[in-house]
């Protein structure tokens, strides 16, 4: 593939952009790819090369790029206005729909990004419990704000060890002191969680967790882990927040909480909720969420519930709930084929790999380990330099994937896309 224009554009971008989000840069590849357009699950770079896309805008594009049904609904509704700073009927329509499909959603509240929704969920949880400390887990990502901006991937030689790793800021410039409010724990280990709560129950107001650990190797919770976490929260006046920014509306209509059968007190959603339009949500128990409604907890945002995003949410939810969940059946069928195909390639070339996750999102990693159950078993066992090479070569072969091993499958991928992807993977893995 020739990428001359892409290279030139990259040089040009450095003069005006303070960094950028380009996939090859994320993959630390030899050049960034600038995408000119997308349609369906495909992208075209400025040199005209076509890619099957499993990055999907970092998750939101569950209907692929530029879906007509979504754009048509938005264009129609936007003839009425863009933002009112007041409630409008579609906001009530989507809220009632969400109440009927998301188990924890007794009341809902909207914002524009996942980061904001997490911030609001933490604030309201603290207000409810009147306790300040947050339990957060290694390898989980909840957005970039200071209150939770502690690195999802701390290095293993930090002091603290397996049982009480340190909270390492995600960036310079994070307000000093916020780390004192974070207790970082390994995930999928109920004994460590119990012990920590036993010692600090008076101070811990919040446990926040990805219900499926998508930000590290797409790790499923061990059987009983989330159920016990739920009980510990009930017994100790702790608000349980599931961060469903990735899993929400992707792994099931009702999110990971429906798939796994555990209902949190609060949950945050974004990404797939509006198929790529900017909206996020906190959904949760009435007695907690009412603190926002009665003004005890302040939440603002000029563009919250804007017409474009609410309209896209309505169209997206209608599509996802139509025909008895046909979209999910399609996504699960194709992702299972893809996962199975990778497993066969691993056996064929005797390249040890783990392929895990529920399907609509899953991860592929090169590792000799039998299983990866938490951040430490991930970081200690995966061959990330091999994956980097694989990722670059897949890009050269017309497949755009995450540099961290994750895949997102959309309603628009076809069986032919899966076959082409597996052909490319066969060629690339065979040559690694
Ligand atoms: C689990 C999780 N929570 C929160 C966020 C932050 O969402 P946003 O990027 O919309 O602010 C992300 C982003 O990837 C995420 O993966």
Q: Which residue has the tokens 């990805």?
A: 210
Q: Residue 217 — left, alpha, or beta (φ > 0 → left; ψ -120 to 50 → alpha)?
A: left
**Tens-place pLDDT, residues 264-308:** 999 999 999 999 999 999 999 999 999 999 999 999 999 999 999
Residue nearest to atom 7 of ligand 1 (CA): 114
Q: Which domains does the chain have, with CATH numbers?
A: 4-66+324-431 (3.90.1150.10), 68-321 (3.40.640.10)
Does the pLDDT at position 6 exceed 90? no
361 pocket-lining for ligand 1 (C-beta < 6 Å)? no
Phi, psi of 70, deg, nearest 5 = -75, -50
Catalytic entry in 271, 319, 404, 408:
271
CA 307–ligand 1 middle distance (angstroms): 22
Would strands 50-53 and 399-400 be described as parallel, antiparallel, or unpaired? Answer: parallel
Does the pLDDT at position 56 exceed 90? yes
Its pTM stands at 0.96
Q: Residue 25: which pLDDT band, with cuts at 50, 70 and 90? A: very low
Instruction: For residue 382, give the DSSP letter.
Output: B
In whole angstroms, what is the distance from residue 52 CA to residue 271 CA? Answer: 20
**Is-catalytic flag, 141?**
yes
The best mutation among 57, 111, 112, 143 to test binding of ligand 1, ranked by most ligand atoms within 8 Å of the C-beta, falls on: 143
**Is-catalytic flag, 37?**
no
Phi, psi of 40, deg, nearest 5 = 60, -150
Average pLDDT over residues 202-216: 97
Q: Residue 24: which pLDDT band, with cuts at 50, 70 and 90? A: very low
The best mutation among 117, 120, 142 to test binding of ligand 1, ranked by most ligand atoms within 8 Å of the C-beta, falls on: 142
CA 349–ligand 1 middle distance (angstroms): 36
Q: Which residue has the tokens 């939101």?
A: 60
- What share of the chain in percent tops pLDDT 90? 79
243 pocket-lining for ligand 1 (C-beta < 6 Å)? yes
**Tens-place pLDDT, residues 336-362:** 999 999 999 999 999 999 999 999 999
Catalytic entry in 54, 141, 225, 328:
141
CA 271–ligand 1 middle distance (angstroms): 8
Q: Residue 209: which pLDDT band, with cuts at 50, 70 and 90? A: very high
Q: Residue 108: which pLDDT band, with cuts at 50, 70 and 90? A: very high
CA 314–ligand 1 middle distance (angstroms): 21
Would strands 182-185 and 204-209 be described as parallel, antiparallel, or unpaired? Answer: unpaired
């Amino acid at each position: 593939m020739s990428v001359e224009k892409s290279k030139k554009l990259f040089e040009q971008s450095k003069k005006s952009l303070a960094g950028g989000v380009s996939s090859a840069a994320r993959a630390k590849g030899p050049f960034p790819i600038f995408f000119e357009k997308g349609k369906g699950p495909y992208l075209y770079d400025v040199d005209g090369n076509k890619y099957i896309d499993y990055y999907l805008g970092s998750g939101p594009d569950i209907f692929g790029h530029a879906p007509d049904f979504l754009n048509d609904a938005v264009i129609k509704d936007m003839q009425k206005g863009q933002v009112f700073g007041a409630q409008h009927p579609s906001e009530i329509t989507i809220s009632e729909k969400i109440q009927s499909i998301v188990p924890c959603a007794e009341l809902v509240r909207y914002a524009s990004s996942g980061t904001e929704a997490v911030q609001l969920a933490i604030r309201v949880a603290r207000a409810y419990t009147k306790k300040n400390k947050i339990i957060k887990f290694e390898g989980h990502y909840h957005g970039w704000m200071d209150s939770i901006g502690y690195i999802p991937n701390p290095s293993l030689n930090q002091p603290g060890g397996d049982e009480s790793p340190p909270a390492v800021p995600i960036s310079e410039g994070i307000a000093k002191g916020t780390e004192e409010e974070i207790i970082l724990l390994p995930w999928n280990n109920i004994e460590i969680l119990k012990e920590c709560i036993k010692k600090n129950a008076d101070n811990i107001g919040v446990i926040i967790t990805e219900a499926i650990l998508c930000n590290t190797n797409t790790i499923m919770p061990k059987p009983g882990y989330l159920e016990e976490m739920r009980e510990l929260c009930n017994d100790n006046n702790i608000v349980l927040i599931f961060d469903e920014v990735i899993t929400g509306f992707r792994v099931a209509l009702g999110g990971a909480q429906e798939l796994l059968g555990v209902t949190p007190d609060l949950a945050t959603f974004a990404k797939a909720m509006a198929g790529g339009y900017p909206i996020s949500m906190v959904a949760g128990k009435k007695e907690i969420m009412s603190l926002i409604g009665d003004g005890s907890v302040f939440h603002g945002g000029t563009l919250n519930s804007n017409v474009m995003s609410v309209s896209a949410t309505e169209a997206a939810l209608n599509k996802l709930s139509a025909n008895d969940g046909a979209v999910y059946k399609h996504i699960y069928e194709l992702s299972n084929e893809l996962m199975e195909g990778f497993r066969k390639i691993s056996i064929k070339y005797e390249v040890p790999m783990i392929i895990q996750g529920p399907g609509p999102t899953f991860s592929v990693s090169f590792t000799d380990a039998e299983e990866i159950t938490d951040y430490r078993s991930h970081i200690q066992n995966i061959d990330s330099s091999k994956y980097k090479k694989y990722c670059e070569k897949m890009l050269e072969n017309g497949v755009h994937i995450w540099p961290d091993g994750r895949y997102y499958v959309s309603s628009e991928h076809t069986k032919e896309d899966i076959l082409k992807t597996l052909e490319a993977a066969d060629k690339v893995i065979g040559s690694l």
